[in-house]
Amino acid sequence: MEEFIGIVGMLLILAGWVPQTWASIKRGKGVDVRFAVLYALGSLFLSYHALIIGDSVFLILNSTAFIIAIINIYLAHKRG
């Protein structure tokens, strides 16, 4: 049951972030770069933590969040 709750939470977060990132890609504009850098670093650390403790739900969620943040950082630098 605990893993199920974690998976539902992960899917809800991704359901918000993935379409937003896709819209940013289509517009060629990302979120504020300071936010994206902090988010990327936090997600990277949490991914490592999830890997160490063997939590696949949080590993997938935070790894995906890291990738999304990197995409937004790239878009912010691309627009100048």
**Contact between residue 69 and residue 38 where contact means Cβ atoms under 8 Å apart:** no
Give me the domains of the chain, ranges plus CATH numbers: 2-79 (1.20.1280.290)
CA distance 12 to 51: 21
Structure-token pair, residue 37: 């850098």
The pLDDT of residue 60 = 93
CA distance 48 to 58: 10
Can you give the pTM of this predicted structure? 0.76
Q: What is the pLDDT of residues 27-67, one digit of tens each?
A: 877 677 888 888 899 899 989 999 999 999 989 999 999 99
Residue with tokens 């995409």: 71
Name the more confident of 14 and 52. 52
The pLDDT of residue 19 = 84
The pLDDT of residue 80 = 64
